[in-house]
Copies of this chain bind each other. A is one copy, B any other.
């Protein structure tokens, strides 16, 4: 049973299904619905659009039949202390949670590629990964999948100035292998990072489950005050799934960004962040001044950007998300534009400007719904 991929590539459905642990008939029925094929950019692949039968969303089957499983969702602690005590027994490792976009980097057909969370080959992330990850990792471990975060001011998905990166850096936080569902954990990732000189997430240390919540509170408060996101809590022996926990400042910065485009975001985005703050205030028993500061921060993170959006629109300015990428190769910018188009993102790419390190390209994403809603309210439309 052969599947003809676009571009005359054939794939043996039965053997792929076998390796995925599902029946060939089931995989066939998924094709074109849950499983989509892609012939651009290279390599050709099948991509799982949704999670199914224990196969993570974003799982990819390359044309050579190799599989890169999707990176599993890390669940969130709402109350640190009970969550840690419930999920871990001995000690826990605490690592910094980076604020960028999750990629998996692997060597396929002799080339390094970076896959997004959803299983798309991102041309820009791929260029960054090629430049930053020494090829020796893949020479020695051809099946390795490096899981990390792309962070920095030139990250077009999540631009952040708080990292030392000039443009966009790859920061390793876990490793896996092609064909394997499981992650190898923090220790394996740091060992690889050290051996090959790959940047890796900061490891704050190992704490007992009893003491961890107190230590993490201090770490997270410090991270928050420096504009960083939060932590991921892992089992040292990699026996339990990790969990994440974020700073109040990070929750509020999410809101600040989203309320600028208030009508283009899901309401659960807003709600979940407010609820996190409520639990954190309760767990950390905020004093009166701290609690007022938290309330003011939360209120301001919603009203300030929304007010600015309305005021901008009153002044006749169109609401848009502006980001910038820095590419070494002009072709990468062209490919990234095509990548956006295929993902259904509507954006305008400015002509590249030469800059130290390559070419800068400004990208403007129009936020249609917020523009339309704000205009209609300013024209007196009722809610």
Contact = CB atoms under 8 A, between A and B. Distances in A.
Nearest to A292: B296
Nearest to A241: B382
Contact of A281 (B268, B286, B303): B303
Interface string A227-258: 00000000000000001000000000000000
Contacts of A314: 282
Interface stretch (A63-71, A84-92, A139-147, A317-325): A84-92
A166 interface: no
A360 interface: no
Contacts of A302: 274, 277-278, 298
Interface stretch (A44-52, A111-119, A214-222, A372-380): A372-380
A311 B298 contact: no
Contacts of A87: 380, 382
A29 B85 CA distance: 57
B383 A78 contact: yes
Contacts of A19: none
Contacts of A278: 259, 262, 302-303, 306-307, 309-310
B272 A271 contact: no
Contacts of A75: 382-383
A84 to B, nearest CB: 7
A303 B294 contact: yes
Nearest to A79: B377
A162 interface: no
A299 interface: yes
A204 B181 CA distance: 68
Interface string A276-293: 011101100010000110
A272 B292 CA distance: 23
B82 A378 contact: yes
A281 B299 contact: no
B380 A79 contact: yes
Interface of A: 75-79, 82-87, 243, 259, 262, 267-268, 270-272, 274-275, 277-279, 281-282, 286, 291-292, 294-300, 302-304, 306-307, 309-311, 314, 377-383
- Name the 4 nearest CB pairs between A and B, nearest first: A86-B380, A299-B299, A295-B299, A278-B306
30 contacts: A75-B382, A77-B383, A79-B378, A79-B380, A82-B380, A84-B380, A85-B380, A86-B379, A86-B380, A86-B381, A87-B380, A87-B382, A243-B382, A262-B278, A267-B268, A267-B271, A270-B270, A270-B271, A270-B274, A278-B302, A282-B311, A291-B303, A291-B307, A292-B300, A295-B296, A296-B296, A296-B299, A298-B299, A298-B303, A299-B300
